[in-house]
Structure 1
Amino acid sequence: MSVVVAARISRSFGATRVLDGVDLTVAKGEVVALLGGSGSGKSTLLRILAGLDPEAGGESTVPARRAVVFQEHRLLPWKRVVDNVGLGIRDPGARSADALAEVGLADRARAWPAELSGGQAQRVAFARALAREPEVLLLDEPFGALDALTRLRMQELFGRLRARHGFAALLVTHDVDEALLLSDRALVLAGGRIAAEVPVGLPYPRVPDAPGFARLRRRLLDLLGVPLAAGAG
């Protein structure tokens, strides 16, 4: 059963047509990665599915129980961490505390956002999403601003949370390895449409040296028009 269905999604900015009839689905519990070159419309599509762009054409069905995590954590600096997690939730107390515990920040509930590291702030953003008990997460480069080690830790955290909660997710990323580590399918957006679909089909948990990983990496890089370095893969 699909929890996200998008049909004929289109969006233009002036004379530039960024999306030109995009169709995609995300099944219940499935993680779909969306890849594409800079300016291909990945983030535009995600914003449309999140209901943040009323000017778009086409039709989409996305559960009301959804949450969005952006590359920037977007925490309100004048609210403590626990209050940021509970924004917009009726009776948020226990749900906020539980979500912070799940991301390993129970002891930072009363901290101010300015007192957090970048990785901690992004974990708070994930806690805020979890507190909404979403059927689907819409993720726009959620680890893109983090250093390499913190990014790996956040990818591992995402995998644990997905296994525990069973939410579906659409993950916008520019990182091919991240797409292969976290998703069940990878879609390539080009020319305003989904140009290719690559089932990942590797068992979890995944590591880049797992059998089949390098072959899938080569395929995605080829679809994205990225030449493989000599001796790589």
Structure 2
Amino acid sequence: MGNYDAFKKQVVDTAQDLTRKGYLMATGGNLSVRIPGQNAFAITPSDYDYFKMTPDDVCVLDFDLKRLEGRLKPSVESAMHAAVYQVRADVNAIVHTHQVYASALTLIQAPIPALFDEQTRFLGRSVEIIPYVPSGTGLLKNTVAKHIRNHNNAFMMQNHGALVFGTDMERAAHNVEILEKCSLAYLLAICSERKVSKVPLAVREIAFAKLRKDQERVAKNALEASGE
């Protein structure tokens, strides 16, 4: 096995699982995993059917987007993934989806407040909306890098989809599911035209403090692995 084979397999397995569950559709979205100890990541190729994808199809890039492995064109949003890894040392996996309910909230520009305990524990204080910029552009990379410094693990991209992080790929995939639950519940609550209740502020902050503790541990380990 090559140096990156396990990471490439993880990308494929997760992409196919999320497709089976309906969070990824056709060739939309992309996901990646950080390569520990290197300024590099494995990412899905551009415009490629997830169910046809094999580990050999996954691309490995450094943070300057230099190809380290892979024969196919990497995702057009590879620069966005690289920017996230550079800004957030606690993030080891990224999933970008066009999942339906979160995407619907972006169309009405409705960020999700702290609705549930698990949301604040794993996604953060809220799910904010990153302003619209065209896909695959340098402007998208810069806009995302600017808006993700608040330590939340889930964001909604206006007229686009969702951007979800995790300390590992399993956590990122779980966070995708939590986000969709919150998105659907919030949409239904909004439609009721009744007041939407939130978790108490003290509970939110306790849960968020636990999330931050996890993030700080992972960021410390990443810095030690890189020798910085």
TM-score (norm 1): 0.30
Which one has the largest radius of gyration? 1
Higher relative contact order (CA 8 A, sep 6+): 1
